[in-house]
């Protein structure tokens, strides 16, 4: 649908754009580093949480962490945006970084569902404080002549960080380990203190915005809260929505069952119906004496529809990495990488190190109880565990090698466990095993260790703080070496024949595509109205997701998955920045930060719904029933429903939001008197 403005008018605006102030560029710089941190960990988070090398959680636990944590990440801006308008953007930036820097580091130290979940909530709060301030800065630093380009540049900067973060994190976790990837995220945030302290200046302090600044400074906390109720709804609405979402999360986490879900929701609805019958309809009463009431109804409806878009979008992080890892044969990507002749590039794509893989195969063999018993269940379990190592071995070829590895490691494991329990209990078992593996690889030759090598090995163990009595010394190192050599034979063979691309390296294509095409596409679509563009973007994104859902059925599965990610990215390019621009276009200038905070409600709900749906559906349809096409078709259907809802909204409610801003200001004045 064409814009209401004439083409000549649009061309005139593009030729007379206002320059961007310094705050615009500083905010975009900080956005890059914040995205380096977030996407550096978020692209591998689903795999890390479910992998046996990570936390080893169930899919419903993984999606619950990501869903609730990300919900909080995007709901905090509702309050942080309003507080930024009151206390200043620079203050909020510094407070956000003070929370994020230690939070990212502690994520790498967490070792359980509870500890990781609590720290992730900490990171979510810090990130939620950052988001409305940086988008509010962009909104206040732009006007009608440059707003489309400004948000396009901003979104490109988001994806510069989004592309570089996973690239760096992939190398770090492959060479140094998972915890170092989290530590690097903390370092990126710490760097942001420099521009925030020395270069950033609140855009409200510009002379051109002096009237806005005076108005904003006069707001009290009470007025800010009243404005929040005017836009979203009253306390009664929150008292109903929050418990309802909590009950749904409990069901998604399998804490309650389906029957309990309907019972609790029924009780909640019944209590609120009776409550509403007992109170009188008056906005002057305290919130608990009011009926449930929406605020700016068209805006709330817009946010709810937009949450459908974000529910579909978030599957690229919640479910797609697991799907690629478990089902998609991406060996075609590896073959193409090998054709370049760059071994380093191939190793980067897979993240595989043969020595590390050897030890991982020992762990897999020990996790499969009696692998010599050829059962379908054991084959599937072993297949999934090997998939987590970026190795897809045909199921018929898995169990016999694992049986050989297990038999070769039994004696070594008994000796290592004894040495740890009796003589090195103050050191973690995994560290004892790693040191013995390293030293045995260095000094054991042809299943023997004698002479000078024996003395050197003893010295090396003493320096490492490992105590081994002479009676155990030679047998311990020789048995560990035997186990390692047996596993390494299969590690070398499987690495050569069956290695796969790390899902994180495929997701990087989304961010690269956005960096390459964002400004070009943003300029092209600037001439059209927001709602038709949102419909087009949602359709493209949904198509990309549906195509990706067939990747496991095709010979070129890796290329299909990668192509679907690029199509998905184009849909995001079209829709996401336009959805933000739309909010900034109708928000009063002095309330841009607050309105941009409300915009994040749609993303918050999208993350929560994505977590609730993906966890239970992926576990049931994909893992248990082996129906990934059905799984992705459900989300494609949700994308189609979102498109229909946008079309209806555009035809029935758009004019309420696009009314003159002076009318909206009058509404605020009445509400805050």
pLDDT one-digit tens code per residue, 34-80: 999 998 898 888 888 888 778 888 888 888 888 888 888 888 877 77
pLDDT one-digit tens code per residue, 224-251: 566 667 777 777 777 788 788 888 777 7
- Measured between alpha carbons, how far is 658 from 660 in angstroms, rounded to an integer? 7
For residue 323, how many other CB atoms are within 10 A of its CB?
Answer: 22
pLDDT one-digit tens code per residue, 475-503: 888 888 888 888 888 989 998 899 999 88
Mean pLDDT of 634-653: 89
pLDDT at 9 over 60: no
pLDDT in the model for residue 225: 64
- Measured between alpha carbons, how far is 299 from 598 in angstroms, rounded to an integer? 9
- Measured between alpha carbons, how far is 148 from 523 in angstroms, rounded to an integer? 8
DSSP states of 115-168: HHHHHHHHHHHHHHHHHHHHHHHHHHT--TTTHHHHHHHHHHHHHHHHHHHHHH
With b meaning 16 or more CB within 10 Å and e meaning fewer, what string describes 636-662?
Answer: bebbbebbebbeebbeebbeebbeeee
Give which of 162, 512, 554 is closest to 333, Cα–Cα.
Answer: 554
Contacts of 652 (CB under 8 A, 6+ apart): none
Give which of 221, 268, 250 is closest to 276, Cα–Cα.
Answer: 268
With b meaning 16 or more CB within 10 Å and e meaning fewer, what string describes 390-429?
Answer: bbbbeeeebbebbbbbbebbebbbebbeebbeeebeeeee
Cα-Cα-Cα-Cα dihedral sign, residues 464, 465, 470, 473: negative
Contacts of 223 (CB under 8 A, 6+ apart): 672
Give which of 38, 37, 57 is closest to 47, Cα–Cα.
Answer: 57
The two tokens of residue 208 are 């051109």
| Comparison of pLDDT for 552 and 99, the residue scoring more | 99
| Comparison of pLDDT for 283 and 221, the residue scoring more | 283
Give which of 320, 383, 397 is closest to 565, Cα–Cα.
Answer: 320
Phi/psi at 353 (5° precision): -120, 125
pLDDT in the model for residue 566: 93
pLDDT at 468 over 50: yes
DSSP states of 595-640: HHHHHHHHHHHHHHHHHHHHHHHIIIIIIIS--HHHHHHHHHHHHH
Calculate ∠ Cα 537-5-603, nearest 5°. 30
The two tokens of residue 262 are 């309907």
pLDDT at 338 over 80: yes
pLDDT at 590 over 70: no
pLDDT at 187 over 90: yes
With b meaning 16 or more CB within 10 Å and e meaning fewer, what string describes 360-381?
Answer: bbbbbbeebeebeeeeeebbeb
380, 358 Cβ separation under 8 angstroms: no
- pTM comes to 0.79
- Measured between alpha carbons, how far is 537 from 529 in angstroms, rounded to an integer? 13
What domains are there in the chain, each with its CATH number? Answer: 19-233+294-323+502-671 (1.20.1250.20), 353-498 (no CATH)
Highest mean pLDDT among 362-366, 370-374, 606-610: 606-610
Q: Is 233 helix (H, G, I), strand (E, B) or coil?
A: strand
Tell how far CA 491 is from the center of its chain.
Answer: 31
639, 538 Cβ separation under 8 angstroms: yes
- Measured between alpha carbons, how far is 288 from 94 in angstroms, rounded to an integer? 36
User: What is the DSSP-derived secondary structure letter of residue 589?
Assistant: G
| Comparison of pLDDT for 236 and 267, the residue scoring more | 267
370 φψ region: left (φ > 0), alpha (ψ -120 to 50), beta (else): left
- Measured between alpha carbons, how far is 470 from 462 in angstroms, rounded to an integer? 13
pLDDT at 670 over 80: no
């Amino acid at each position: 649908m064409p814009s209401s403005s004439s083409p000549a008018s649009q061309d005139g605006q593009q030729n007379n754009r206002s320059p961007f102030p310094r705050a615009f560029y500083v905010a975009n710089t900080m956005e890059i580093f914040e995205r380096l941190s977030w996407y550096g960990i978020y692209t591998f988070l689903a795999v890390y949480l479910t992998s046996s090398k990570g936390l080893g959680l169930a899919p419903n636990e993984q999606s619950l962490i990501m869903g609730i944590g990300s919900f909080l990440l995007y709901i905090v801006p509702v309050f942080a945006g309003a507080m930024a308008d009151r206390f200043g953007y620079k203050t909020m930036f510094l407070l956000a970084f003070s929370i994020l820097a230690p939070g990212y580091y502690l994520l790498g130290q967490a070792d359980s569902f509870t500890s990781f979940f609590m720290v992730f909530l900490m990171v979510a709060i810090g990130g939620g404080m950052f988001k409305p301030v940086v988008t509010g800065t962009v909104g206040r630093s732009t006007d009608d002549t440059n707003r489309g380009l400004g948000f396009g540049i901003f979104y490109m900067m988001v994806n510069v960080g989004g592309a570089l973060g996973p690239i760096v994190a992939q190398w770090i976790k492959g060479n140094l380990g998972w915890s170092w990837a989290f530590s690097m995220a903390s370092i990126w945030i710490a760097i942001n203190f420099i521009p925030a302290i020395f270069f950033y200046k609140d855009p409200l302090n510009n002379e051109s915005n002096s009237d806005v600044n005076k108005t904003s400074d006069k707001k009290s906390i009470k007025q800010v809260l009243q404005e929040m109720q005017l836009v979203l709804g009253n306390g009664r609405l929150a008292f109903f929505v929050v418990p309802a979402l909590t009950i749904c999360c409990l069901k998604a986490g399998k804490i309650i069952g389906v029957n309990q879900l309907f019972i609790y929701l029924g009780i909640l609805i019944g209590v609120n119906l009776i409550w509403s019958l007992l109170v009188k309809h008056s906005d002057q009463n305290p919130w608990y004496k009011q009926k449930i009431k929406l605020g700016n109804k068209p805006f709330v409806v817009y946010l709810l529809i937009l949450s459908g878009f974000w529910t579909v979008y978030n599957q690229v992080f919640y479910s797609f990495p697991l799907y690629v890892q478990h089902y998609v044969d991406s060996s075609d990507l590896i073959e193409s990488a090998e054709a370049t002749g760059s071994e380093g590039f191939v190793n980067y794509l897979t993240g595989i190190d043969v020595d590390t893989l050897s030890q991982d195969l020992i762990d897999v063999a020990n996790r499969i109880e009696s692998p010599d018993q050829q059962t379908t269940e054991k084959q599937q379990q072993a297949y999934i565990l090997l998939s987590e190592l970026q190795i897809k071995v045909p199921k018929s070829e898995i169990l016999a090698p694992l049986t050989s590895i297990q038999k070769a490691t039994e004696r070594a494991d008994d000796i290592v466990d004894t040495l740890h329990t009796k003589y090195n209990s103050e050191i973690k078992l995994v560290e004892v095993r790693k040191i013995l593996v390293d030293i045995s690889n260095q000094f054991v030759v042809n299943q023997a260790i004698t002479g000078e090598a024996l003395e050197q090995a003893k010295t090396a163990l003493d320096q490492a703080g490992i105590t081994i009595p002479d009676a155990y010394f030679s047998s311990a190192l020789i048995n560990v070496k035997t186990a390692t050599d047996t596993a390494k034979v299969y590690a070398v063979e499987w690495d050569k024949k069956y290695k796969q691309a790390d899902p994180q390296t495929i997701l990087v294509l989304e961010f690269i595509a956005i960096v390459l095409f964002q400004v070009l596409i943003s300029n092209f679509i600037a001439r059209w109205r927001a709602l038709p563009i949102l419909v087009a973007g949602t359709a493209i994104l949904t198509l990309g997701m549906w195509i990706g859902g067939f990747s496991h059925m095709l010979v070129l599965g890796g290329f299909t998955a990668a192509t679907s990610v690029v199509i998905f990215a184009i849909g995001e390019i079209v829709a996401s920045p336009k959805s933000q621009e739309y909010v900034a276009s109708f928000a009063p200038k002095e309330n841009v930060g607050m309105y941009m905070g409300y915009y994040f409600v749609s993303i918050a709900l999208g993350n929560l719904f994505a977590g609730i749906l993906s966890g239970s559906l992926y576990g049931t349809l994909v893992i248990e029933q082996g129906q990934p096409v059905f799984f992705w078709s459900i989300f494609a259907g949700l994308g189609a429903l979102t498109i229909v809802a946008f079309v209806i909204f555009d035809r029935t409610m758009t004019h309420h939001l696009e009314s003159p801003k002076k009318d909206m200001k009058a509404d605020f004045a009445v509400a805050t008197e």
